[in-house]
Amino acid sequence: MRNPIKDTDYLAISARIKAMETTLLTRERMEQVLEAKTDDEALKLLQESGYPQLRGTDPTALDAALSAAREESFADLSDSAPDPRYIDVFRLKYDYHNIKVLLKAAAVGANPDHMLADMGRVSVQQLKDALAGNETADLPPMLAAAAAEAKEVLDTTRDPQLSDIVLDRWSYRDMLAVAEATGSSFLRGYVQVQIDAANLRALVRTLRMGKNEAFLSGVLFEGGDIPADAILKVSADKGAGLKELYEPTRFREAVECAQESLHGGALTEFERLCDDAVSDYLSGAQFVPFGEAPLVGYLAARETEYTNLRILLTGRGTGLSPDVIRSRLRGCQA
């Protein structure tokens, strides 16, 4: 049996995290990259912050470089984290992503290699072998069950979206189970706020499409802090009660924006505000001197940074104006 881990077991890694947080891109540095007159100037600013050469004009190369940076961060912290399950919460989404890719590629006879991300708990090769031979016994139990159910849904319906929903549901279930197994209320809260964000997005999209609550119930995820039955009631009432349900929560601003989106407005700002609500939850980690919270907060901050870099560099590469790019950037801690 794993010995209980105390906050004090995180003294050493918490000190490292505090030092590593100083290397996160600040809002000021991102603004400098955004306003750089040339791509070379923008790249130089990022290189000064420790990044390799990144170019938004080559999305494949950009994704590969960011994936390498992400994997380096995972590997570095995995060696010193008292409980590797805190890293697993961030890794496991790549397991489910890879299952999605492999199942859909097999269904149409395509080569999936360029879409796979070898950053999960399970190597890409092990997943390939397990699915090709229908031998999933060596996979983590929830991942094995998810792969089997998703394959059955895809084989039966030929609808990859339904298969993806199955895998997304298992992914959140897996994340929540890992969080609960650690005994960390902070990590569990992080997973729950992500589920709440996903369910709010699903509710708003359902209302925009004019679908009913039966449709929504098929895409809601279990385990969030906001009850599913309350979300379904808003759907059944055609959006009435949306503001009241979310007013007391950190999604208040996202819902205010959603009101405009329900009448045909763009979803871009709403999506950003949903992500910012998750970041708002994580901001509490900055005030915890030691324990698992600084580790979780740092890993999530890096994920946000990679997202922002992709938005920023891809936007520059496609000629978007600074104002448009700026409006899409997620909130950051630094």
Residue range 84-183, CATH number: 1.20.1690
Q: Please give the angle made by the CA atoms of 330, 235 and 238, to the nearest 5 degrees.
A: 105
Q: What is the pLDDT of residue 4?
A: 53
Q: What is the pLDDT of residue 198?
A: 97
Stretch 281-307: mean pLDDT, rounded? 83
From residue 129, give the alpha-carbon distance in Å to each of 96, 139, 149.
15, 11, 18
**Phi-psi domain of 198 (left: phi exceeds 0; alpha: psi -120 through 50; beta: other):** alpha
Burial degree of 21 (CB within 10 A; 0-12, 13-18, 19+): middle
Q: What is the pLDDT of residue 61?
A: 82
Query: Is it the case that residue 1 has pLDDT exceeding 50?
Result: no
Most confident among 2-16, 223-237, 254-268 (mean pLDDT): 223-237
Digit-coded pLDDT (tens) for 134-186: 788 889 999 999 999 999 999 999 999 999 999 999 999 999 999 999 999 99
DSSP E strands: which ranges in 49-89? Answer: none
Query: Measured in Å, how far apart are the chain's first and last C-alpha atoms?
Result: 38
- How many residues does this entry show for the chain? 334
Residue 167 contacts residue 143 (beta carbons within 8 Å): no
Percent of the chain at pLDDT above 70?
95
Q: What is the pLDDT of residue 88?
A: 93
Domain boundaries in the chain? Answer: 84-183
